[in-house]
Amino acid sequence: MKKKISRGMSRHEQTVDMLVEKLITSGKFDRVKRDIKYNFSKANGQIDVMAFIGNRKYFYEVKSTYNLRSLKKAQEQYSRYKSVCKTKNLEGYIVTMGKIQRLNG
């Protein structure tokens, strides 16, 4: 069932909703979670969307607009999480309306 996008939702919320729906309906992922908060001794933060295939994790950071500043911020958020989660089975992506790009690392 498709979720209707409300006019009152922010662009960020709309993008998160569309991404979650796309990941779930793709049938590729075992689980899809949104708004994940993490708290390790050296870092804490929030991940917009995380998808899982077996023990492999896919990190999605959603930004309202795509520009150098938002790309840099998403890369920093991904790098911070990757430095504390200690898994090699992790891929990171920045997502904006209509664009998904893999992050470095």
Give the confidence band of 6 by pLDDT, cuts at 50, 70, 90.
low
Q: What is the average pLDDT value for the chain, to the nearest integer?
A: 90
State yes or no: pLDDT of 5 exceeds 70: no
pLDDT band at residue 7 using 50, 70 and 90 as cut-offs = low
**DSSP line for the chain:** -PPPPPTTS-HHHHHHHHHHHHHHHHS--SEEEEEEEEE-SS-EEEEEEEEEETTEEEEEEE-SS-SHHHHHHHHHHHHHHHHHH--SSEEEEEEETTEEEEPP-
Domains and CATH numbers, the chain: 11-102 (3.40.1350.10)
- Over residues 30-60, the pLDDT tens digits come to 999 999 999 888 888 999 999 999 999 999 9
